[in-house]
A = this chain, B = another copy of it.
């Protein structure tokens, strides 16, 4: 595990996606790992911390999550824009080498039987709160965050992001459409 990774208090973990970055959703079933991109992920509650994510019924990720009830939401960086774009536009169903071709490297965290994507800057291990109506009608999943970690180069122990002193390639990203992304930009303090 990357030496910069620190655990994040679950009650503050919503801050890892409060600014609306595009995320990667990873999952594992029967020893097979998969990763997809999702712009439609959002915090839902503070304590116990929950989030929502839309997982299309046509994806392999959906099949895995339906079977295991587990997934990881992680925050990719500017350096991973092509990786994000590729895992977001190819299915493991069509290409078993999808992850390798996209340059995805995975790592383990003890106690969690799900794959984590290296090079991201925040990770939330999630357990599905079963809501069959939402899942079947809207492809909408509610996950309880059961573990959270972040890269201390851009997130402090209070789960506050700070990009000013870090390499710009570590900034989070926000997908609009058609492979167009914005990096997370300048900090401003409201009064």
Contact = CB atoms under 8 A, between A and B. Distances in A.
Interface residues of A, number: 52
A125 interface: no
Given A133-B133, A134-B134, A176-B15, A82 B191 contact: yes
A22 B20 CA distance: 8
A54 interface: yes
A49 to B, nearest CB: 12
Interface stretch (A1-9, A65-73, A103-111, A180-188): A180-188
A182 B83 CA distance: 24
B42 A42 contact: yes
A180 B174 contact: no
B40 A175 contact: no
A18 interface: yes
Interface of A: 12, 15, 18-22, 39-45, 50, 52, 54, 78, 81-82, 84-85, 131, 133-134, 138, 140, 142, 159-161, 163, 171, 173-191
